[in-house]
Amino acid sequence: IQSRFSGLSLSTLPQNQNRTSRSRLRLRRCLPQISSTRNRSPYAGTRVRSQAHIPILRPSIHARRENITVKFQDLYGFTVEGNVDDVNILNEVGEKVRQQGRVWWALEASKGANWYLEPSVSEGIALKFSLKLSTLANAITLKKLIRKGIPPVLRPKVWFSLSGAAKKKSTVRDSYYNDLTKAVEGKVTPATRQIDHDLPRTFPGHPWLDTPEGHAALRRVLVGYSFRDSDVGYCQGLNYVAALLLLVMKTEEDAFWMLVVLLENVLVSDCYTTNLSGCHVEQRVFKDLLTKKCPRFLEP
């Protein structure tokens, strides 16, 4: 395969190895400082512009016929496997993300670094009106921007603020998360048993999530939440949500508050509670919608 790649004049393999060793280095760097970086996921705040670039492969008929698969890690550490065509599509998407990023940077330059975090702007999105025209304009701009995708480096900040997680966190004492995780340490409940069972099964093989450090962080977030909300406790599926939040958010604590705000304010309520009543409602609504809009799907 290596010779094929050089025949295609590609630098895929060396670059990939580079990336992998770099992320390994990062992981190793984190290990000796677990206590000080305990709340930090190694994928947090990834510098995207240098990381997300996937080497461009020039597809040739030869390459397609041979169906060479290319394997690399994406910016959150997931292994992506595909043929030359897939990689080219990913490159196109990556380029669009970079373009979109440039729009964000340009706006930061003209409106100020945190213009979108102004409460009047972020709340303007929800309220759809504002007394000040410029604020309203900003709110509309922001909504359009978000619909086209938030650049990965800005995600931790934008998600945390606009979801309402920041506000939620600010209503309790600063030590809330630390106190919570300390208070529940060593307690065994049906929820913790199921969590422990699912930790190694959550994105198995991921370079950080599937390590003792990753398992421990995910465990603290899930167990912490299970004690915060006993109606939910732990529901399978939350492990994936929390794991992805850990990869995106800057700190473990921010990931926890994102999970809190998602479950308590953003998502349809009761989707994860002990009887999944929210899911039943959703399914019923979906069925009614199908009956109305696409009745032929419901024919026997």
Partner 1 sequence: MMGSSSKGRCISYDYSFKILLIGDSGVGKSSILLSYISNFVHDLSPTIGVDFKIKMVTVGGKRLKLTIWDTAGQERFGTLTSSYYRGAHGIILVYDVTRRETFTNLINIWAKEVELYLTNRECIKILVGNKVDRGSERAVTTEEGMEIAKEHKSLFLECSARTRENVDRCFKELSSKILEVPSLLENGSIVVKQKILDKTRAHKEVEVNDRGCCH
Site for partner 1, rule CB under 8 A: 194, 197-198, 200-205, 235-237, 239-240, 273-276, 279-280, 299-300
What's the length of the chain?
300
> 157 CB contacts (<8 Å, ≥6 apart)?
114, 117, 250
- Minimum distance from CB of 274 to partner 1 (Å)? 5
Nearer to partner 1, 128 or 201 (CB): 201
- Minimum distance from CB of 275 to partner 1 (Å)? 5
Nearer to partner 1, 116 or 203 (CB): 203
Judge residue 204's burial from the number of C-beta atoms within 10 Å of its C-beta, 0-12 exposed, 13-18 middle, 19 or more buried. Answer: exposed
- Minimum distance from CB of 196 to partner 1 (Å)? 10
- Minimum distance from CB of 83 to partner 1 (Å)? 20
Are residues 90 and 80 in contact, defined by beta-carbon separation less than 8 angstroms? yes
- Minimum distance from CB of 190 to partner 1 (Å)? 8
105: phi then psi, degrees, rounded to nearest 5: -65, -40
Question: What is the rounded CA–CA span in Å between residue 198 and residue 85?
Answer: 35
Question: What is the rounded CA–CA span in Å between residue 6 and residue 250?
Answer: 38
- Minimum distance from CB of 299 to partner 1 (Å)? 7
Are residues 122 and 142 in contact, defined by beta-carbon separation less than 8 angstroms? yes
> 240 CB contacts (<8 Å, ≥6 apart)?
202, 203
- Minimum distance from CB of 245 to partner 1 (Å)? 17
Question: What is the rounded CA–CA span in Å between residue 2 and residue 188?
Answer: 51
Nearer to partner 1, 8 or 263 (CB): 263
70: phi then psi, degrees, rounded to nearest 5: -110, 135
Question: What is the rounded CA–CA span in Å between residue 25 and residue 84?
Answer: 28
Nearer to partner 1, 198 or 252 (CB): 198
83: phi then psi, degrees, rounded to nearest 5: -90, 180
- Minimum distance from CB of 281 to partner 1 (Å)? 12
Nearer to partner 1, 128 or 193 (CB): 193
Nearer to partner 1, 7 or 190 (CB): 190
Q: What are the structure tokens assigned to 220, written together?
A: 């603290």
Nearer to partner 1, 112 or 190 (CB): 190
Are residues 159 and 150 in contact, defined by beta-carbon separation less than 8 angstroms? yes
Residue that the structure tokens 């213009």 belong to: 115
